[in-house]
A and B are shown apart, each in its own frame.
Chain A
């Protein structure tokens, strides 16, 4: 990316907005499937996590990949459930709602921070243009 470009900060802030939007998509999938015992692959839903990477030198951020959390499933005692094993336990997704809430708060604050950068940069450009008056 060109450094001497007055639209550069706008593009970078927008890339931050986009990345946090994708992050919200991953979080909403986790929350919606917090009690999904069947993900269609013969096991409960596995928690997803988004990772980010820098888009080139002095560039914005972009979503790198969405990795699956391979930690152990939650065992819930429910002998009446048809999916229960011989001991009466049912495997539930490894999603922890409090953790998702914390990640969602972080994503929201990051989004607001990027919007704040965008707004402030627009104000800076307007201050520069006032010199023409």
Chain B
């Protein structure tokens, strides 16, 4: 099984104690008793995120439809929904590219 749990922040921990895997706000990684997450789990999490991004896309789509059909005359709510959907989709594409890149690099590793 491929493991993407590379603890790159390890050597940097002594440099800045405030930022590290154990600081608040960061997901806890690398502790001995915890089950290590596999690449497949990461893909599943990304799948959950895709459905959330899809919800935002759907709501922006609905607001555009409502505006064009005359049901809703507030153009600012359309702008807000589209801006949110745009930002979260860009983040999703960035994460997806990173995941694919990691998978390719792992698969091209000479064994």
Which chain B residues lie closer than 8 Å to A122 at the CB level?
83, 86-87
Q: Contact at B83–A118, with CB atoms within 8 Å?
A: yes
Q: Contact at A133–B83, with CB atoms within 8 Å?
A: no
Q: How many residues of A contact B (CB 8 A)?
A: 15
> Is A50 on the interface with B (CB-CB < 8 A)?
no
Min C-beta distance of A1 to chain B, whole Å: 14
Q: Given A10-B83, A14-B77, A14-B80 in contact, is the A129-B97 Cβ separation under 8 Å?
A: no
User: Which size class do B's interface residues fall under?
Assistant: 10 to 19
CA gap between A11 and B84 in the complex, in Å: 9
Interface on B for A, CB 8 Å cutoff? 74, 76-77, 79-80, 83-84, 86-87, 90-91, 94-95, 97-98
Interface on A for B, CB 8 Å cutoff? 6-7, 10-11, 14, 17-18, 21, 118, 122, 125-126, 129, 132-133
A and B contact pairs by CB, cutoff 8 A, 9 listed: A6-B87, A7-B84, A7-B87, A10-B80, A14-B76, A14-B80, A21-B76, A122-B87, A132-B95
